[in-house]
Structure 1
Amino acid sequence: MAQDSGTRTLISHAQLRRGRGRVVYWVALTVVVAVFTLVFLGPLYWMVTGALKSGQEIAQTPPSLFPKDPQPQNYIDAWNNLALAKLLFNTFYYAAGAVLFQLVFDTAAAYSLSKLRPIFGNAILGLMLATLMIPAMVLIVPQYVTVIDLPILHLNLLDSPFAIWLPLVANAFNIFLLKRFFDSIPEDLMSAALVDGASPLRTLWSIILPMSRPILGVVSIFAVTAVWKDFLWPKLVMPSPETRTVSVGIYAFSGGTPMNVVVAASVIAAIPTVIIFLIFQRNIMSGLTTGSLKG
């Protein structure tokens, strides 16, 4: 009788092959999957269907599961009344800048720590990682003070995209991800490039970056979602209606706007990030799980 050499689990394969064990396993698995599906998809379902309800129906208690009289006009009203085109453009602009700045500066920092190995590099990396232990809310005040009076240059960055871009560049988590990926690139490639006379910058451009596309894609997606979902910081540094992000803009208009129209605006604002995730989910997983390369 062949022995099972697979990975060990809480329930053995012999128990799963029995009638009762198989039934218990599939019932438990079905219940767990159903519960987690409801937890994650429930709010999305309520948001999408709530945007199709009338103002009275969306406010009634208990709420209805399906719209009694679907009103697609709510989406058109949200697009026109809340100026979503301008808000989405602003958010795309800030997200694109955040991606560019993080790819340039975070990649340079990670490459330096991983391959160039400067003096006190490990201490610098440790200090960077220590900042992950600081709650984000604690940093709001010092960051805001820095933005309204940039040290040395004494510039006021309110209503400037740099007020969003510069704090996002100092991202210890992304630098750590990039460094770990660069660490997995064989040193033989670096030595071969050095023998061929390639400078460190040339090595980064011609060897490291082409091999790092998965993790660069992950960092880019993290940068986009960070800008898209952030609310408090853009609200502080982008007070002008012309420079607001989509989340701040929807909140600003929600006071005098029917709730069903606000919910419709939230659905429209969420569509780009959902599309990005569905398109690049493979890249996200491959970039996070890639830990070694074979030379």
Structure 2
Amino acid sequence: MRRSTADRPVRTLLSPWTLERTRGRLAYWAVFTLVFVLFTAAFVTPLIWMVLGAMKTAPELAQLPQAVLPERFDLGTYGEAWDFMELAGYFRNTVVVAAGAWLLQLAVCVPAAYALSKLRPILGRWILALMLATLMLPASALLVPTYLTITDVPLVEVNLVNSPAAIWLPAAANAFNIYLLKRFFDQIPTELLDAARIDGAGNVTTMVRIVLPLSRPILAVVSIFAIVAAWKDFIWPLLVLQDPAVQTLSVALQRFEQDTPINLMLAGLVLASIPMVAAFLVFQRQILAGLTAGGVKG
């Protein structure tokens, strides 16, 4: 007779017997606290320095050794940076690029993952393997062929330079997100899909009405990955968005670097980071749920 999941022993780095001892518990919490503090400091310290540095004046930032806190906490630097670099237009461009990349990526990756997971086409495993093989290629190796394709799109013969579509189209087929979606779709019971087909639902209807509502956690994860990747990307937008009027924040901030005081540049970097940090804080529960989802309860 097979044991239930609840009866199976849980494998951990430390045995329950060790944690029951006072010395073992103290050692465990000491190591955990030390690692937590070190990792938190490594990730948070640069952000705090950037936020506080934006409030300092340029002479304060040039001082050595540099004071941790500014002489006075002046939030006016952020407003000055917003006006000096005209960030409103670049924010608008970045939102358009990120939103389009997100929507097009979902429109391509979700059907592709659903087909590989549930429709099981001929040579489906080989197709997935070839997709994953593209993840082994360095991004720099794909820049030249992708750029040549964008400058003269096959069949339609259109030049997409200085168009948001130059970023949307290459981002549409993301092998990593397809793999994440496929692994999640594999956990959805086939009986649910069979019941929908018995009721007369086609493949598209089954995907939209059955699979997608059950896949909200992983869709949230893929959405965050797609938006963040488009928001922070620099090399590709630098190549295809040559007109300053259509450039994204990452490219515009680099262009302003030489002629902008360092405190205003730090303020611009903080402003550019706020949307992604806020998005993570708002959707962190959905992100963690999607990453840890191992199955669907029927």
Same fold at TM > 0.5:
yes
Q: Deviations over 1:217-258 (max 9, x none)?
A: 111111110011111111111011111111111111111110
- Residue 257 of structure 1 corresponds to 260
Question: For residues 200 and 8 of structure 1, what CA distance do their matches in structure 2 show?
Answer: 41
Find out whether 1:191 has 2:197 as its counterpart. Answer: no
Find out whether 1:153 has 2:156 as its counterpart. Answer: yes
Q: Shift of residue 15 of structure 1?
A: 4.0
Question: For residues 255 and 90 of structure 1, what CA distance do their matches in structure 2 show?
Answer: 22
Does structure 2 retain, via aligned residues, the 8 Å contact 1:129–1:172?
Answer: yes
Find out whether 1:181 has 2:180 as its counterpart. Answer: no
Structure 1: gaps (5+ residues): none
Give the AA of the match of 1:112. A
- Residue 85 of structure 2 corresponds to 82
Alignment of 1:60-139 (within 5 A): 60-139=63-142
Cα 1:16–1:261 shift into 2, 3 Å: same
Q: Deviations over 1:135-186 (max 9, x none)?
A: 1111111111111111222211101111000111120001111111111111
Find out whether 1:268 has 2:271 as its counterpart. Answer: yes
Does structure 2 retain, via aligned residues, the 8 Å contact 1:54–1:71?
Answer: no
Structure 2: gaps (5+ residues): 1-7
- Residue 163 of structure 1 corresponds to 166
Does structure 2 retain, via aligned residues, the 8 Å contact 1:147–1:157?
Answer: yes
Cα 1:32–1:236 shift into 2, 3 Å: same
Question: For residues 112 and 264 of structure 1, what CA distance do their matches in structure 2 show?
Answer: 46
Q: Deviations over 1:67-109 (max 9, x none)?
A: 1233322111110011111111111111111111011111111
Question: For residues 124 and 60 of structure 1, what CA distance do their matches in structure 2 show?
Answer: 57
Does structure 2 retain, via aligned residues, the 8 Å contact 1:114–1:183?
Answer: yes
Q: Shift of residue 192 of structure 1?
A: 1.0
Give the AA of the match of 2:129. G
Question: For residues 43 and 65 of structure 2, what CA distance do their matches in structure 1 show?
Answer: 21
Alignment of 1:236-255 (within 5 A): 236-255=239-258
Does structure 2 retain, via aligned residues, the 8 Å contact 1:147–1:156?
Answer: yes
Q: Shift of residue 33 of structure 1?
A: 1.6
- Residue 144 of structure 1 corresponds to 147
Find the partner of 2:236 among 230, 233, 236. 233
Question: For residues 199 and 19 of structure 1, what CA distance do their matches in structure 2 show?
Answer: 61
Find out whether 1:45 has 2:32 as its counterpart. Answer: no
Q: Deviations over 1:191-238 (max 9, x none)?
A: 111111111111111111111111111111111100111111111110
SS in structure 1 of the partner of residue 201 of structure 2: coil
Find out whether 1:25 has 2:24 as its counterpart. Answer: no
Cα 1:125–1:244 shift into 2, 3 Å: same
Q: Shift of residue 19 of structure 1?
A: 4.4
Give the AA of the match of 1:125. L
Question: For residues 185 and 104 of structure 2, what CA distance do their matches in structure 1 show?
Answer: 19
Question: For residues 126 and 10 of structure 1, what CA distance do their matches in structure 2 show?
Answer: 34
Give the AA of the match of 2:163. S
SS in structure 2 of the partner of residue 102 of structure 1: helix
Question: For residues 210 and 11 of structure 2, what CA distance do their matches in structure 1 show?
Answer: 40
Count of residue correspondences: 292
SS in structure 1 of the partner of residue 67 of structure 2: coil
Q: Which moved more, 1:15-24 or 1:114-123?
A: 15-24
Cα 1:214–1:142 shift into 2, 3 Å: same
- Residue 290 of structure 1 corresponds to 293
Find the partner of 1:202 among 189, 200, 205. 205
- Residue 220 of structure 1 corresponds to 223
Percent identity (aligned): 52
Question: For residues 281 and 290 of structure 1, what CA distance do their matches in structure 2 show?
Answer: 14
Q: Shift of residue 118 of structure 1?
A: 1.3
